[in-house]
Amino acid sequence: MSMGVFGAVYRFELRYHLARPVTWLYFAAFAAGSFAFMSTDTIALAGGSGQVMRNAPWVLVRAMLLIVVLGQSSWRGSSEVR
């Protein structure tokens, strides 16, 4: 696949997803969740509380795993609809 074809497909997909409201809904939800996770001790997403710091390696791995699972489910849902 040449770079011109790749660029055309990339631009199409970018325009398609930016035009959909659900993209912005997921963005807002992940941004709000990230802000809440880092700004307050009330929300313990991946076990970072007490003596365990939130930027500990295993806490970051668990948080990223949760984000990837949630993101994959939303991404996979849109491709199944098409």
What confidence score (pLDDT) does residue 11 get?
Answer: 92
Q: Indicate the residue type of 48.
A: G
Distance CA 40, CA 29 (A): 16
Mean pLDDT, rounded, for 7-13: 90
List pLDDT tens digits, range 27-42. 888 888 778 777 776 6
> Is 73 a domain residue?
yes
Q: Identify which has the larger pLDDT, 40 or 9.
A: 9
> Is 54 a domain residue?
yes
Mean of the per-residue pLDDT values of the chain: 75
Residue range of the domain that includes 51: 21-81
> Is 8 a domain residue?
no
Q: Please give the tally of structural domains in the chain.
A: 1
> Is 10 a domain residue?
no
Mean pLDDT, rounded, for 16-36: 84
> Is 65 a domain residue?
yes
Distance CA 47, CA 54 (A): 8
Question: How wide is the angle at C-alpha 39 spanned by C-alphas 35 and 30, nearest 5°?
Answer: 15
Whether the CB-CB separation of 62 and 47 falls below 8 Å is answered with: yes
> Is 1 a domain residue?
no
Q: What is the value of pTM for the model shown? A: 0.56
Q: Which two tokens stand for residue 54?
A: 């939130």
